[in-house]
């Protein structure tokens, strides 16, 4: 029981089978849990029919709440590492081992980054990523090349800290906050696929709102947060 793959899923009935079956069939060395985040479609029904390991939240808590539920499960079950893994098929499990190897060097968080060895393309969404990277560097002194990547692995120490604190979300502002308070964070190069089914929660309006919220939180709000270590 070393690594748990946490799969938050909101309205992913079209892709969840492909994601979970790939893990079960090709990567049995990893345990997994699907966190159905109050989906309004058939995500939970599909998971129950297939016999997947499922935590079925009765209401939609959002990504932060769903992932924290997964980390509470990881903490209670005694896992040494936990990785956030998208239910839409964009994250590729062949990179989990590379991320594991890096965290075993003593890091608290390892991010699966698209831009360690590759140049970040220019687009409106990537401009937001540039701005978040800049805000993180200004406040922590550390350069994170892919701060919005959702493929993040957490050490056992941080699993416990996330599980027992309500104000921790798996977002760039929390990563920045943890760096500022001594957490060791690294990135490794990964490739990600495009979503094949369903619709992303982040439309243009939500993407802009998200980037602004993260920037303000990193530059201002994190200075008023208090860290309660587990």
Hey, which residues does 40 pair with through a beta bridge?
A: none
CA distance 194 to 93: 14
Q: Average pLDDT for consecutive 10-residue bins of the chain (230 residues)?
A: 93 96 97 96 97 96 91 96 94 97 96 87 71 88 91 96 83 89 95 69 60 74 60
Torsion of CA 155, 161, 164, 169, to 10 degrees: -90
Instruction: Give domain limits for the chain.
Output: 3-224
Q: What is the pLDDT of residues 65-95, one digit of tens each?
A: 999 999 999 999 999 999 999 999 999 999 9
On whether the 3-224 domain is CATH 3.90.1150.10, my answer is: no
DSSP per residue over 60-106, as a string?
--HHHHHHHHHHHHHHHHT-SEEEE--TTS-S-GGGHHHHHHHHTTT
- Report residue 168 as tokens: 């921790």
């Amino acid at each position: 029981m070393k690594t748990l793959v946490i799969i938050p899923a909101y309205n992913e009935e079209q892709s969840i089978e492909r994601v979970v079956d790939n893990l079960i069939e090709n990567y049995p060395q990893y345990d997994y849990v699907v966190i159905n985040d109050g989906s309004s479609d058939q995500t939970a029904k599909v998971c129950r029919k297939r016999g997947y390991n499922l935590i079925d939240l009765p209401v939609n808590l959002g990504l932060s709440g769903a992932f924290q539920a997964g980390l509470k499960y990881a903490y209670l079950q005694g896992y040494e590492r936990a990785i956030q893994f998208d239910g839409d098929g964009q994250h590729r499990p062949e990179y989990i081992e590379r991320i594991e190897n890096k965290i075993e060097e003593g890091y608290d968080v390892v991010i699966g980054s698209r831009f360690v060895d590759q140049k970040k393309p220019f687009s409106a969404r990537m401009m937001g990523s540039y701005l978040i990277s800049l805000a993180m560097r200004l406040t922590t002194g550390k350069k994170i090349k892919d701060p919005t990547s959702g493929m993040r692995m957490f050490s056992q120490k941080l699993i416990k800290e996330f599980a027992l604190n309500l104000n921790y979300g798996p977002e760039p502002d929390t990563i920045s906050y943890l760096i500022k308070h001594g957490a060791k964070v690294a990135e490794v190069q990964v490739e990600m696929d495009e979503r094949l089914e369903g619709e992303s929660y982040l439309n243009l309006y939500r993407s802009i709102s998200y980037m602004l919220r993260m920037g303000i939180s990193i530059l201002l709000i994190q200075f008023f947060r208090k860290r309660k270590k587990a």
